[in-house]
Amino acid sequence: MASKAKTIEILKRVLIYVTTLVFTYYMNISSWLLVGIVLGFFIDFLQIKLYAYSYEIKNKNDLVATVVFSVILSVVIVAGKHIQIDISNIYAGTHTANYISAYCFADIIAICGIAYFICAIVKSIILLREKYNGKLVEFDISKRVSIKSVVIATIIMMLMWLPYLYVYYPGFYFGDTSSNVIEALGLATLTNHHPVMYILFLRICLNLGFKIGGITQGLAIFSFCQTVFMAIGVSYFLNWVRFKFTINKWIYYLTVLCFGASTYVAQYSIAIWKDPIFSVSVIVFTICFFDAIYGKYDSVLQKIWSYLKLIATSFLVIFSRNNGIYIVLAVIIIMIIAFIYFFLKKEKAWNIARCICVCASIVIISNYVTGPVYDSWGVDKSDTKVESYGIFLNQMARVVVCNGDLSDEEIAYMNAIYPIDDYDETYTPCCVDNLKWNPLFNKAVLEDNFINKYISIAKKNPKICIEAWELQTFGFWAINQKCVNTFEANIDGGVPRNIGVNRAYPLGVEGIELKNVEDDSTAAKMFPHTARDIPVSYMHWLIIALAIFALLRGDWKRFIMLAPALGLMMTLIIASPIWYWPRYGFAQQLILPLLLVLCFTKNEALKTEDEK
């Protein structure tokens, strides 16, 4: 009997090495064989140490969550392996350059092997948590955030980011910025392609700039204000995590310095885009939303203040980027599910009910503003559907290119959108821009029963439509694409006019004086405009893992804390207009400290007294 157990144990150890090699191969890792052997040795060693403590996961829900997460991620890794990308021609490459290779039976075996390997990793992490549960992080919602600490961290980050404003004065100026400035100056009709709130804020900054110098100074004021906003928001977020989770002060100070010293984060402080303000709004909304539900307050005024913060941050999220309203809607849906759960268990959840009412009211008010109010202001909303239907358009275009199943009526409809014989040259799998910005593209056709036409086409061509979705969104969910994992052109993707090579592009507005920062200048080397970051896809799988475990444990506090991040993730994975651009998921990168802390927080720490 002992001999049989020993044989099984040896086979399991061999299986770890084999599946590790399969994993490293499918992850597209250079020198995958060597890396696989080293990684397999590490996992084997770790399991030997942990199994001496405990062989099995005590919580059966954790075991189910481990299997579910491992299987889903293994399928995604195999799918990512089959996405073939021409790195030199991603944006404008046609379906012959960027495509999905054929699957085979070996992929099914690989899914099983990779799932086994991921299970071993996750199981080891859970056993480590169980072994050192007494040393894990505590959570205390009643602790107050120190204003003094927030101010100090704000000043530190501002001082570390401001050199970028000096080097790239008056801030990173992109092609989108020209459109924004023209609208802000009243030289073009306001549109909601770039949120009206953002344009109006830019208008205020430009008007202040004219009082002290001109348009250049106005842009510099915008960059400075954005730097201040980012520093305050990130500081408040980090301090909330520090005090609520009783984080060691030295770890906190190190985190503040990491944010301040990060070239990648610093670049956003002066990037004249809507994304920095939106992303910081999302992380602050996350903690204000949680406070409003679970916060403990000494007076009614403090409780009212928590709701006012929730209202203010909700509006910031909604009006700083157009997908913000979907984040708030996702939060409402998750709160409704949580309320039903507690109601069925006959537990009180009135704070959740009140927050549902607050957020629902905010959505209604926001829709009124973007509807009748924008109409009264003369805001042009003709591009709204083009932006919303990006994924659908590329799927339908791929059906045409791949000679999918289309009726005569559907062919005529696609021809009305764009000349049917030209789709081959215009359809680019990784981005919808080349189609929707083409002069021959007729956006008026989208008003004619578009959704019904899309559903009809998608039902008959599911495989083609799924492939189209994969190729357009893979950067936000695939973890084994080198073009994503080595991406450092976040700023270059916007074509900054501050860089010498890009200055030949027309600025669109007269009178802007941008410093010509050449690529080989000392300043540009000290404060570069390119930077590596943690891929957004990795952030998403960490969020998914935490959400699955929280949901299966019935850990609603943890799950509700993840609600805004889950909402943003869904907008990117379901409807991203481009294969990858980190700025769309910047909020997910900013929220990393909270995600890591949640990984190492005691399971019982986020439970109510009744649940304990």
DSSP assignment of 466-477 equals: HHHHHHHHGGGT
Instruction: Tell me, letter by letter, the H, E, C secondary structure of 484-520.
Output: HHCCCCCCHHHCCCCEHHHCCCCCCCCCCCCCCECCC
Average pLDDT over residues 204-232: 95
* The pLDDT of residue 605 is above 60: no
pLDDT of res. 176:
86
Question: Are 397 and 435 in contact, with CB atoms under 8 Å apart?
Answer: yes
pLDDT of res. 275:
95
pLDDT of res. 504:
63
Q: How far is CA 69 from CA 35, 114, 543, 551, 552, in A?
A: 23, 12, 11, 12, 11
Average pLDDT over residues 562-578: 93
Q: What is the pLDDT of residues 449-503, one digit of tens each?
A: 889 999 999 999 999 999 999 999 999 999 999 999 999 999 988 888 888 766 6
pLDDT of res. 49:
74
* The pLDDT of residue 261 is above 70: yes
Of 47-51, 299-303, 333-337, the range with the lowest mean pLDDT is 47-51
* The pLDDT of residue 612 is above 60: no
What is the phi-psi region of residue 100: left when phi exceeds 0, alpha when psi lies from -120 to 50, beta otherwise? beta
Q: What percent of the chain has pLDDT over 70?
A: 95
Please tell me the distance from the alpha carbon of residue 602 to that of residue 137, in angstroms, as a whole number.
6
Q: Which two tokens stand for residue 439?
A: 């002069």
Confidence of residue 609 (pLDDT cuts 50, 70, 90): very low
Confidence of residue 268 (pLDDT cuts 50, 70, 90): very high
pLDDT of res. 543:
97
Q: What percent of the chain has pLDDT over 90?
A: 63
pLDDT of res. 13:
82
Average pLDDT over residues 228-241: 97
Adjacent-strand bridge partners of 100: 83
* The pLDDT of residue 506 is above 80: no
Indicate the average pLDDT of the chain.
90
Q: Which residues contact 505 (CB under 8 A, 6 or more apart)?
A: 175, 495, 497
Q: At what angle do helices 390-401 and 462-473 cross, to 10 degrees?
A: 130
Question: Are 294 and 338 in contact, with CB atoms under 8 Å apart?
Answer: no
Contacts 24+ apart (CB under 8 A), 48-55: 50/124, 50/127, 50/128, 50/131, 53/127, 53/130, 53/131, 54/127, 54/130, 54/131
3-state DSSP call for residue 378?
coil
Confidence of residue 11 (pLDDT cuts 50, 70, 90): confident
pLDDT of res. 532:
92
pLDDT of res. 5:
67
pLDDT of res. 52:
64
pLDDT of res. 77:
97
Of 13-27, 384-398, 484-498, the range with the lowest mean pLDDT is 384-398
Task: Specify the higher pLDDT residue, 193 or 440.
Answer: 440
Q: What is the pLDDT of residues 163-181, one digit of tens each?
A: 999 999 999 998 889 889 9
* The pLDDT of residue 7 is above 70: yes
Please tell me the distance from the alpha carbon of residue 199 to that of residue 193, in angstroms, as a whole number.
10
Average pLDDT over residues 515-526: 81
